[in-house]
Amino acid sequence: MKVPQSLRNVDQDAVVRTFDYDDGSVIAVDFGTAAADISIDVVGSTAIIVADGEQFEFELPPEASDVSVHNGVLTIDE
């Protein structure tokens, strides 16, 4: 699964990683402890993220089956 372009350019402090497994892959975006209060809303194939008072949105990869946030880490599962 490819990382959406808008997630690659999120924030200098965010760490974006992709993990590939035999049964799928995961994109993890760690916004750090300062952004532990992240909210996410998915409308159709668009994810809307609000972190530290800033909002951005991106198109989910077609393979995405689950999107979640926990402790400042956004994960997109295939």
5-49 pLDDT, tens digit per residue, is 767 666 667 788 999 999 899 999 888 766 667 889 999 999 998
Task: Tell me the whole-structure pTM to 2 decimals.
Answer: 0.80
State phi, psi for 35 to the nearest 5 degrees: -110, 35
The second-level CATH assignment, the architecture, of 5-77 is Sandwich (2.60)
Torsion angles phi and psi, residue 59, rounded to 5:
-80, 130
What confidence tier does 50 reach under pLDDT thresholds 50, 70, 90? confident
Confidence of residue 76 (pLDDT cuts 50, 70, 90): very high
35: CB partners within 8 A, 6+ apart: 14, 51, 52, 72
> What pLDDT is stored for residue 41 in this prediction?
92
**Could you identify the residue written with the tokens 């994109």?**
27
For residues 78 and 68, give the distance between their C-alpha atoms in angstroms, rounded to a whole number.
12
